[in-house]
């Protein structure tokens, strides 16, 4: 079983851009050799900003920092190249479910997407090309894992231990992803299983599935992409379903040559397309955030999709969702239901009781023999192990704080007690219906504005005030109760305390609005000239922005955008 990130796995797709994508792929960027070694007796290397992770968020941060005149940064990445999610998820059929023209950086548009919902190799290729073109690879250090990061109050800096040496940094940016650490199901006997077992996010490309008896556990977003791909190859496939998901038709299509020419050459066409996709998705935010009844209307379309694709009434019954649409992630597929109708595929809904050396035993007593087990059971989202690596000013780790109070961060970005720490894709920044790249770019605006102010005002530290963080969190929680995510299902959006700490409960533009400017008056700061323990209440409110759909106290202090 492989649970470590894939290291520099080569996938299809060639670069057509400037620069050497090999640098991004293999981590052998020339600049890597230029980076002085750390440890080995010498003092740790210091950087202004240290970024952990080089997926969309970490790479985006590197590019935006570089362009904004903050060249003194370093990205550490435990894998062998950029790409994050799209480097690690190489299972057959892996693709985005937000159209590519929006699921990409606004500052690195790509007119060459081959289809509306691109597949993993094409997205990874895009990220590698973007990295190579950006000129930031000389400040990426691959095969370097964050082991710990500790705030040193006296030095007003982060001490960062990695698998390849020690660094210090004025500002620490975590971009280690929310859907990054694969989660194994807690099944009795899983260690006894003697066959091949792998998680969908750690696909074994060398393992031959053809002719094997295979089981897939899970019917979420990854499972419904990979099941149609492997079903024709295997001799038999058992699909273990705990909850039937809502599945909508997938309006995927290849771009015609004429469309691609237009996307490349007609001024504004690509931007317009991006804007239209954004607008359409933002309209659905209304249903998710404020008016879940609208989703009941949309669910009729999903029910019709099920009826048109599954002829067997018993199977259709098993596949009928029993919770309000939108409470869990809505899935999109045209080939999932047909795959389940195949003669060599069985949908199993009896709960799994345990695993033997070569079989899955269900609660009804049946034992189904298998050679291979694919677990598509998601990720550690609300209990990320990476939070235990970060120790704040009072000696407590972020993980410990969050286990006590639930995951929380001011605007998904900063945490009281953790000075000069900025999180990308932090708590309550996920979306059920929008491009995560849009949310990431909003957080990058906030980070960049913070760095700009720190430089201009000669600030040594910024730390969000606990009352501001608490007010923000309380408003968020109240707002969450009105959303469809609180309509009574269990989902991976919720933490052990039952709180949805994964998703943003409103419109994406509202999040863009509250992250447009760094609201200094919500922060305790020290200036470079002051001793480390001085706290200077700097900054007055430059006006307030009300978070759309939230009472003003949630955003008090956020400058108008």
Ligand X SMILES: Cc1cc2nc3c(=O)[nH]c(=O)nc-3n(C[C@H](O)[C@H](O)[C@H](O)COP(=O)(O)OP(=O)(O)OC[C@H]3O[C@@H](n4cnc5c(N)ncnc54)[C@H](O)[C@@H]3O)c2cc1C
Which residue ranges make up the site for ligand X (CB under 6 A)?
5, 52-58, 76-79, 84-85, 89, 94, 96-98, 103, 145-146, 175-177, 179-180, 222, 386, 424-425, 435-436
Q: Which is nearer to ligand X, 103 or 504 (CB)?
A: 103
Q: How far is the CB of 305 from ligand X (least distance, A)?
A: 19
Q: How far is the CB of 375 from ligand X (least distance, A)?
A: 14
Q: How far is the CB of 225 from ligand X (least distance, A)?
A: 7
Q: Which is nearer to ligand X, 203 or 472 (CB)?
A: 203
Q: Which is nearer to ligand X, 84 or 321 (CB)?
A: 84
Half-sphere exposure of 427 (CA within 13 A, CB side): 26
Mode of pairing for the β-strands spanning 367-369 and 359-362: antiparallel
Q: How far is the CB of 372 from ligand X (least distance, A)?
A: 20
DSSP secondary structure string for all residues of 38-107: --TTSPPEEEEEEEE--SHHHHHHHHHHHHTT---EEEE-SSSSS-THHHH---TT-B-SS-TTTSS-TT
Coil, helix or strand at residue 306: helix
Q: How far is the CB of 84 from ligand X (least distance, A)?
A: 2
Q: How far is the CB of 189 from ligand X (least distance, A)?
A: 27
Q: Which is nearer to ligand X, 146 or 263 (CB)?
A: 146
**CA dihedral sign of residues 227, 231, 233, 234:** positive
The CA distances from residue 125 to 15, 86, 101, 166, 537, in Å, are 6, 9, 15, 31, 46
Q: How far is the CB of 208 from ligand X (least distance, A)?
A: 23
Q: Which is nearer to ligand X, 76 or 373 (CB)?
A: 76
Evaluate whether 215 touches 368 at the Cβ level (below 8 Å). yes
Residue 190 CA to its chain's centroid (Å): 27
Q: How far is the CB of 365 from ligand X (least distance, A)?
A: 34
The CA distances from residue 204 to 4, 122, 149, in Å, are 12, 19, 32
Q: Which is nearer to ligand X, 472 or 504 (CB)?
A: 504
Q: Which is nearer to ligand X, 9 or 524 (CB)?
A: 9
> Dihedral angle at the C-alpha atoms of 454, 459, 462, 465, nearest 10 degrees?
-120
What span, in angstroms and rounded, lies between the C-alpha atoms of 257 and 115?
Answer: 11
3-state helix, strand, coil in the chain (%, to 5): 35, 20, 50
What are the residue ranges of helices labelled H in 325-465?
336-340, 398-405, 436-456
Q: Which is nearer to ligand X, 213 or 273 (CB)?
A: 273
Helix 269-289 and helix 257-265, axial crossing angle in degrees, nearest 10: 100
The CA distances from residue 528 to 106, 171, 188, in Å, are 35, 14, 56
Q: Which is nearer to ligand X, 5 or 27 (CB)?
A: 5
Encode 202-231: b = buried (16+ Cβ within 10 Å), e = exposed: bbbeeeebeebbbbbbbbbbbbbbbbbebb
Residue 337 CA to its chain's centroid (Å): 27
What span, in angstroms and rounded, lies between the C-alpha atoms of 500 and 480?
Answer: 8
The CA distances from residue 64 to 57, 228, 394, 516, in Å, are 10, 39, 31, 14
Residue 357 CA to its chain's centroid (Å): 34
Q: How far is the CB of 290 from ligand X (least distance, A)?
A: 21
Q: How far is the CB of 173 from ligand X (least distance, A)?
A: 11
Q: How far is the CB of 412 from ligand X (least distance, A)?
A: 11
Q: Which is nearer to ligand X, 57 or 290 (CB)?
A: 57
Q: Which is nearer to ligand X, 98 or 331 (CB)?
A: 98
Q: Which is nearer to ligand X, 23 or 519 (CB)?
A: 23
Q: How far is the CB of 548 from ligand X (least distance, A)?
A: 20
Q: Which is nearer to ligand X, 97 or 521 (CB)?
A: 97
For residue 418, what are the contacts with CB-CB under 8 A and spacing of at least 6? 151, 390, 392, 393, 398, 463
DSSP state of 390: E
What span, in angstroms and rounded, lies between the C-alpha atoms of 107 and 529?
Answer: 36
Evaluate whether 213 touches 371 at the Cβ level (below 8 Å). yes
Q: How far is the CB of 181 from ligand X (least distance, A)?
A: 8
Q: How far is the CB of 83 from ligand X (least distance, A)?
A: 7
Q: How far is the CB of 95 from ligand X (least distance, A)?
A: 7
What span, in angstroms and rounded, lies between the C-alpha atoms of 321 and 306?
Answer: 10
Evaluate whether 88 touches 66 at the Cβ level (below 8 Å). no
Q: Which is nearer to ligand X, 389 or 401 (CB)?
A: 389
What span, in angstroms and rounded, lies between the C-alpha atoms of 124 and 6?
Answer: 13
Q: Which is nearer to ligand X, 105 or 193 (CB)?
A: 105
């Amino acid at each position: 079983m492989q649970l470590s990130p894939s290291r520099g796995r080569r996938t299809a797709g060639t670069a057509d851009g400037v620069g050497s994508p090999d640098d991004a792929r293999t981590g052998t960027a020339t600049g890597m050799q230029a980076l002085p070694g750390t440890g080995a007796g010498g003092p740790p290397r210091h950087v202004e900003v240290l970024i952990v992770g080089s997926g969309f968020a970490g790479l985006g941060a590197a590019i935006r920092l570089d362009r904004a005149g903050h060249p003194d940064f370093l990205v550490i990445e435990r894998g062998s190249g950029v790409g994050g999610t799209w480097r690690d998820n190489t299972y057959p059929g892996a693709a985005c479910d937000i159209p590519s023209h929006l699921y990409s950086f606004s500052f690195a548009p790509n007119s060459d997407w081959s289809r509306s919902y691109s597949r993993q190799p094409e997205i990874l290729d895009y990220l590698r090309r973007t990295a190579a073109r950006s000129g930031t690879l000389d400040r990426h250090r691959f095969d370097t894992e964050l082991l710990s990061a500790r705030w040193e109050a006296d030095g007003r800096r982060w001490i960062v231990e990695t698998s390849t040496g020690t660094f210090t940094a004025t500002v620490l940016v975590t971009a280690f992803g929310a859907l990054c650490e694969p989660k194994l199901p807690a099944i009795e006997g899983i260690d006894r299983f003697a066959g091949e077992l792998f998680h969908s996010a750690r696909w074994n490309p060398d393992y031959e599935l053809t002719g094997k008896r295979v089981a897939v556990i899970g019917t979420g977003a990854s499972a419904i992409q990979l099941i149609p791909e492997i079903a024709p190859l295997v001799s038999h496939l058992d699909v273990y379903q705990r909850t039937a998901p809502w599945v909508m038709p997938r309006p995927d299509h290849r771009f015609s040559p004429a469309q691609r020419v237009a996307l490349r050459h007609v001024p504004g066409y690509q931007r317009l397309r991006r804007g239209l996709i954004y607008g359409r998705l933002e309209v659905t935010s209304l249903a998710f955030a404020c008016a879940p009844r609208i989703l009941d209307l949309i669910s009729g379309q999903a029910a019709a999709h099920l009826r048109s694709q599954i002829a067997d009434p018993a199977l259709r019954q098993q596949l009928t969702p029993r919770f309000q649409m939108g409470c869990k992630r809505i899935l999109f597929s045209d080939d999932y239901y047909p795959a389940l109708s195949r003669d060599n595929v069985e949908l199993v809904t009896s709960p799994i009781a345990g695993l033997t050396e070569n079989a899955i035993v269900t609660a009804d007593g049946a034992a189904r023999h298998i050679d291979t087990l694919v677990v598509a059971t998601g990720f550690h989202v609300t209990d990320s192990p990476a939070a235990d690596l970060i120790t704040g000013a009072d000696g407590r780790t972020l993980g410990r704080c969050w286990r006590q109070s639930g995951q929380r961060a001011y605007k998904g970005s900063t945490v009281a007690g953790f000075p000069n720490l900025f999180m990308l894709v932090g708590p309550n920044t996920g979306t059920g219906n929008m491009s995560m790249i849009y949310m990431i770019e909003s957080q990058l605006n906030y980070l960049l504005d913070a760095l700009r102010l720190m430089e201009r005002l000669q600030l040594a530290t910024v730390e969000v005030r606990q009352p501001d963080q608490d007010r923000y969190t309380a408003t968020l929680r109240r707002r969450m109760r009105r959303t469809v995510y609180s309509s009574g299902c269990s989902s991976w959006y919720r933490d052990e305390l039952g709180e949805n700490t994964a998703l943003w409960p409103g419109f994406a533009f509202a999040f863009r609005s509250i992250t447009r400017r760094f609201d200094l008056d919500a922060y305790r700061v020290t200036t470079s000239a002051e001793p480390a323990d001085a706290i200077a209440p700097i900054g007055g409110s430059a006006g307030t922005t009300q978070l759309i759909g939230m009472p003003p106290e949630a955003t008090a202090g956020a400058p108008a955008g």
